[in-house]
Amino acid sequence: MAQVRTRFGIAVLVGLAVSLIASQGHAASGLAPIDASVTFKVKGCGKLSSDTTVQLTLADAGTWSASGEEDGFTGTYVAGGKGGRTLTLTFDPSSLAAFQALLRGEAGTLCGAPADSAVVTVKKARAKLNKTGTSASLLVKASLAADGNPFKKGKYTLKGNGPLGPVPTTTTTSTVPTTTSTTPPTSSTTSTSTTTSSTTSTTTVGSSTTSTTTPVSSTTSTTTGSSSTTTTTVLTTSTTSTTSITPPGYGDCVNGGPDACTPAETCLSAPFEGDTVGMCTIPCAAAEDCPAPSSGNPRVGCGPNAPACLLFCDGGETCPDGMACLGGMLCFFTGPCTPNCDGRTCGDDGCGLSCGDCASGTVCADGQCVAGDSCVGRCDTFDEFASCQCDSPCVGAGDCCSDICDPGVCDGQDICTCVPDCTERFCGLDGCFGTCGECLTVGDVCTPAGQCAPGDSCVGRCDSFDETASCQCDAGCFVGGDCCADVCDVGVCDTAPVCTCVPDCTERVCGSDGCAGSCGDCLTVGDVCSPAGQCVSGTSCLGRCGTFDENALCQCDDECGTFGDCCVDLCDPGVCDGLPPCA
């Protein structure tokens, strides 16, 4: 199975013309310059307040990074809430340690004495996106606890927001020799790589294949998913089931109607900036399933979040006759759209434009301006411009409107009907959207069973990782060198995988040892570790067929043709000539 990749500019069109269905499993990707305010209070020592700009980068593979004037942190996120727009951020262990050290240093500066023993706990770290994915807010809260020398407790808060745009493209120049490998075509589509090496991939298309046309969105309506601003739309489809897929003609179903498409095709359409945009296409699994159009030279690809053949113009390519390059990204036909603001005073007009704006203190909900400090008319929604929220994550974030569960407001919403269960639990999640409490003793952490236990022991914590603990009990602790001293003591975790796994590096010089450790690293610049545990060249597919390695200069997996980063020898005889990109 091909691995999920982080390749910006194609997977998500943030703030530009067309959104290819919400990312599956993650909310969005992009770069947001956050204008943030920072407050840091240390009881008995003083308070610091400042303004700063944080460059927040979100990757659709579920990772994030944040950098300021002097510091940078990284981690992972989990998307939740309405539309998956609330991202719960988790620091990587090294970044967490750096963040904790930073706050200890600031506390020491305020108090005029070292605060190296202070316990720093991240209470909340989240990002929220608006519905259109064009802006993001950031909130980070942390607490400090010490023994009174030089202070007992402190509090840190960073919050702000900013526009979310695409991550700038970085071009890496290498000295990979340029070689052209050509496979004789049956019915060929030529795609040109945009990496430093060039390759011609010849594929076969149009053969009869048993399949069922799959809609691009989760419904088959052609009018659903309208966005609330002029910059993002959700593609919808009308489909016809078939057992024989033929190459698409990329016809104009916007002006010619669905009849312009063959029975095997889908009419991909959406409102955009006052117009309707779209074209005829077919489902696909890879770029090899998609033929070239009859005119122009767009890059043909399979949508990463919408399984349909698309025509990309993000590299300055010429769109087919009659099509326009929307947002500098995709080729589509354009046609008229009739706006509909009947009964609506704000929000989307059905054509990607707005029916109006709301006054300060109010927000738009279902086409009406409502109070931003109430959940009336706003149940199960998040609005970054509101002073309080009405979605389920507001419980954990602590920003729910006070009337959210009042009778007749949102009392039927899961946030109000879910029954928390803290039976025999004193900390951790309550099964709904809140917690059963926090561990108050300095150094204690919450075990998976909801019990407070010393953070310097593995009792009750086998095979788990807790970033707030002073030592760890998972298999990775041996690699990280932060295992608790009692991890493999009899009766503690001696029968758990962390202590029973036997590393095996037989005939392996790099990569995983079968447990949580490594058999070694590749020391030669440009080399990567093959699946067989051998160091091989990162510019060749020898020993790497069917794999993706983010550290390599070119790739050898099934999707490299889609992304234009195949190694030049991918289809050479005896290398990977049996892979789909070479068939």
The domain segmentation of the chain, as residue ranges, is: 30-163, 213-357, 364-414, 418-500
Cα–Cα distance measured from residue 73 to residue 82, given in angstroms and rounded to the nearest whole number: 27
- pLDDT tens digit string along 354-374? 899 888 888 888 888 998 899
Q: What is the rounded average pLDDT for all residues in the chain? A: 74
Q: Does domain 364-414 have CATH number 4.10.410.20?
A: yes
Give the per-residue pLDDT at 322. 92
Residues 55 and 73 sit within 8 Å (Cβ to Cβ): no
- pLDDT tens digit string along 491-543? 999 888 778 888 889 999 998 888 767 888 888 877 889 888 999 988 889 98
Q: Which helix (H) or strand (E) holds 301?
A: strand 299-302
Give the tokens for residue 96: 């967490």
Nearest to 331 by CA among 347, 320, 346: 320
Give the per-residue pLDDT at 320. 92
Give the per-residue pLDDT at 60. 63
Q: Which DSSP category does 414 fall into?
A: H
- pLDDT tens digit string along 72-108? 888 888 776 655 677 888 888 888 888 888 888 888 8
Please say whether the dihedral angle defined by the alpha carbons of residues 486, 487, 493 and 499, taken in this order, is positive or negative.
Answer: negative
Give the tokens for residue 266: 């889908």
- pLDDT tens digit string along 178-203? 333 333 333 333 333 333 333 333 33
Which residue is it, tokens 């259109």? 132
CB-side neighbour CA atoms (13 Å) of 346: 11
Three-state SS string over 128-159 comes to: EECCCCCEEEEEEEEEEECCCCCCCEEEEEEE
Residues 300 and 191 sit within 8 Å (Cβ to Cβ): yes
Residues 507 and 514 sit within 8 Å (Cβ to Cβ): no
Contacts of 300 (CB under 8 A, 6+ apart): 189, 191, 287, 290, 291, 292, 293, 309, 310, 311, 312
Cα–Cα distance measured from residue 264 to residue 390, given in angstroms and rounded to the nearest whole number: 43
Cα–Cα distance measured from residue 523 to residue 510, given in angstroms and rounded to the nearest whole number: 10
Cα–Cα distance measured from residue 126 to residue 243, given in angstroms and rounded to the nearest whole number: 45
Q: How many CB atoms lie within 10 A of CB 195?
A: 20
- pLDDT tens digit string along 392-442? 778 767 788 999 989 998 888 877 888 888 999 999 888 777 788 889 888
- Residues of the chain with pLDDT > 70: what percent? 76
Nearest to 208 by CA among 241, 242, 183: 242
Q: How confident is the model at residue 323 (pLDDT cuts 50, 70, 90)?
A: very high
Q: Which amino acid appears at position 419 of this protein? A: V
Nearest to 265 by CA among 250, 276, 254: 250
Nearest to 329 by CA among 305, 313, 310, 316: 313
Q: Which of 6-10, 25-29, 122-126, 274-278 has the lowest mean pLDDT?
A: 6-10
Q: How confident is the model at residue 40 (pLDDT cuts 50, 70, 90)?
A: confident
Query: Across-strand partners of 336?
Result: 275
Query: Across-strand partners of 234?
Result: 19
Give the per-residue pLDDT at 318. 94
Pairing of strands 153-163, 46-59: unpaired
Mean pLDDT throughout 151-177? 64
- 2 SS3 class: coil
Cα–Cα distance measured from residue 28 to residue 61, given in angstroms and rounded to the nearest whole number: 9
Q: How confident is the model at residue 248 (pLDDT cuts 50, 70, 90)?
A: low
Model confidence at 166: pLDDT above 60 = yes
Contacts of 314 (CB under 8 A, 6+ apart): 9, 10, 299, 328, 329, 330
Give the per-residue pLDDT at 167. 54
DSSP E strand boundaries for 27-134: 30-42, 46-59, 63-67, 72-80, 86-91, 119-129
Cα–Cα distance measured from residue 168 to residue 228, given in angstroms and rounded to the nearest whole number: 25
- 164 SS3 class: coil
Give the per-residue pLDDT at 61. 65
Give the tokens for residue 432: 């709904």
- pTM of the complete model: 0.33
Phi, psi of 414 (to 5 degrees): -55, -30
Model confidence at 293: pLDDT above 60 = yes
